[in-house]
Amino acid sequence: MNDIRFHDMGDGRRIAFRLAEGNGPCLVFLPGYMSDMAGSKATALFDHAREEGRAALLLDYSGCGKSSGIFAEGTLSRWRDEVLALVAAYVSAPVLLVGSSMGGWLMLLVGEALGARLAGMVGIAAAPDFTRWGYCEQQRARLAAGEIVYEDNPYGPEPTPTHPGFYADAEHHMRLGREIAIDCPVRLLHGQDDADVPWEVSLRLAEALRSDDIQVTLVKHGDHRLSRESDLALLRRTVAALL
C-alpha cells in the first residue's frame, strides 16, 4: 500500500487511489458501504492484475479509508462522480467494474454513465436499492424526517450509521423496478448464507438488466463478505474469464 496516490476533485476532496498500468480492460473495484480499497477482495484482484500485467484501479470514496472528506456527506451520486472522475483522468481503456455490496449498486450508476466504455460487470453480493428493502417502514420514516439510523455492525464495535442525505439521494437511484439499460456481460456472485443481502436480490438484478449475457453464481455456505480463500479464487476466475 505504499503506492497510494491522490486525485484532487477541485473542491477540497482528495481521493486516494492505486493504479496498476497494464493491458486489456481496466478493472475498477467499487467497495461496499463504509469499506475501502484495503479489503481482501480489492487487494486480491489488484495483486492478481499486477501479476498478469493487467490494468487495475482501486479507490477510497470521500470520507472513507485514506480519502479526505466527511462520511456523513457521502451519497451514491457523490461517489459515482468520484469514480467517473478517476476513470476519466487515469483510464483510457474499456472498463470492467467489480462492485461489492453497495458497490454493486454504485456499479450500475457508473456503468450507465460509462456507456460504450463499459466492458463488463461483476457483482459480489450486489445490493441495489437496499435503502428500500433493507430498512423497515419506521427506519425509512426516520431517515425521511432527517434522522440518522444506526444498526448493529457485525464487522466492528461501532454501529453502522445511515445518514439522511444518503437516503434522500438514494431515492433517485432505484434500479430494480425497471429495465437497467446495460448490455455488457455481467457476472453476479452471491453467498447463500448472506445475512445482509438476500441472494434473491441478485436474481432480481439479473432480471432487471437488459443484457442477455448474465450468469448468477450462488455460493453454498457463502456469507456476505465472500472473503474465504475459495471465494477469492472464484472471484479471480470470474474476473479473469471476462478480461
| Catalytic sites, residue numbers | 101, 194, 224
SS (H, E, C) the chain: CCCCEEEECCCCCEEEEEEECCEEEEEEEECCCCCCCCCHHHHHHHHHHHHHCEEEEEECCCCCCCCCCCHHHCCHHHHHHHHHHHHHHHCCCCEEEEEECHHHHHHHHHHHHHHHHEEEEEEECCCCCHHHHCCCHHHHHHHHCCCCEEECCCCCCCCEEECHHHHHHHCCCCCCCCCECCCCCEEEEEECCCCCCCCHHHHHHHHHECCCCEEEEEECCCCCCCCCHHHHHHHHHHHHHHC
